[in-house]
Amino acid sequence: MSLQLVASDMDGTLLRDHSQISPENVAKIKEIQQLGITFVACTGRTLEQARSVLDHYGITCPLITLNGAQIYTADNTLEFERPLSKETAHHLYQNTDSLKVIPELLTDQGIFMRSREERFSSYVYFYRMVNHEAKDSEIVATLRDLESKWHIKYAADLKDLIDTHNVLKMTFFTDHDIALLKALQYDLTQRYPDISVTSSGLGNIEISSKEAQKGLAIARFAKDNGISLDRTMTIGDNLNDISMLKVAKYSFAVGNAQLEVRQAAKHLTKTNVENGVSLAIDKAITMSTQTTH
C-alpha cells in the first residue's frame, strides 16, 4: 500500500538550528503534498510557535501541537483538545518550590512563567545543553527574540491561572541539575496515572494529560481522515516522539536522535542538518510502493 501520511517532529528533526528548514526538506514536503500525501507537523510547540516557522517557508499543513494536546486543521481550526485536569495541575504546581524546579504553563490563553529572571536562567541552561558551543551573547539574543515572538506572559503566582485557563502542557525546567529532572520524571509517572511525562531535550520535562501524546494524536488524526497507520510514516529525535514512532508502520529516527528514540524507530536516517526528513520520506515511499507490489 502506498504512503498516505507523513508526520514529522519539528525541533531537532525537521528544523535545523535557529528554527530553519532546509530548502531540500521544504521542497520534499511540497512535493509529497502535490502527490496527495498528507503532511502533518507534530510538535511540542504551541500553534503560534509552530505556524510562524512553517508560514515563513510557505508550508501549509495540519498541526499536532503541545505533544498531542491539540490537533489543528491546515486553516487553524481546532479539532481536538485535551488539557490536564485542574486537580492534577494544581498538585503539580504546588510542589514546584519543594521540587526546586521552574514551571512554565502552556495554556489555551498563552504561555506563562513566574518571572523573566526565572525564564532566562532556565532557558539559558536548557539551550546550553542543546548547543554546547553557543556563546552567552548569542543565547541571550535568541531568548529575547523568542520572548517577543511567543508573547510569554508573567505572573508571580501561577496557581490562580489554573482555575481560569486550560493547562495543556506544564513544563518543568532546571537551571542547575539535570539528574533532578530525571528522577522527577520517574516519580511523577508513578504518582499520577492520568499524566504523560516526557522530554524535548536535556534540561526540561513536559507534562500533559495521558490522552495528550503524539502517538495517540497521530492515530486519532489518521482515523478521522480515513488513513491507515500501515500507510503512515513518522519521524523524530526526542523522547516525546517515541509514542508516534510506535504507532506507524514506517518510523524513522534522525541521526542526531537520542538512543531511546533510535531504539524505538524501525529505521534510521541522516541528521536534522543533513536533510534526514527528506531522505526518510523517499525511503518510506519506496518501501510502501514495494509493499504494494
Per-residue pLDDT of the chain (293 residues; tens, 9 = 90+): 599 999 999 999 999 987 899 999 999 999 999 999 999 999 999 999 999 999 999 999 999 999 999 999 999 999 999 999 999 999 999 888 777 889 999 999 999 999 988 888 887 777 777 666 777 777 778 777 777 677 789 998 899 999 999 999 999 988 777 788 888 888 898 999 999 999 887 778 999 999 999 999 999 999 999 999 999 999 999 999 999 999 999 999 999 999 999 999 999 999 999 999 999 999 999 999 886 55
- The per-residue pLDDT for 1 is 59
Taking the model in full, what pTM does it have? 0.89
CA distance 214 to 65: 8
Instruction: State the angle between helix axes of 276-292 and 23-34 in degrees (0 to 180), rounded to the nearest 10.
Output: 30
Closest CA to 104 of 94, 117, 95, 93: 93
**End-to-end C-alpha distance for the chain, whole angstroms:** 8
Instruction: State the angle between helix axes of 136-150 and 116-130 in degrees (0 to 180), rounded to the nearest 10.
Output: 120
Instruction: State the fold for domain 86-209.
Output: 3.30.1240
Q: Domain limits of the chain?
A: 5-82+213-292, 86-209
Residue 258 has φ and ψ, to the nearest 5°, of -65, 155
CATH class of 5-82+213-292: alpha beta
Residue 175 Cα distances to 103, 125, 163, angstroms = 11, 5, 28
**Is the fold of 5-82+213-292 the same as that of 86-209?**
no
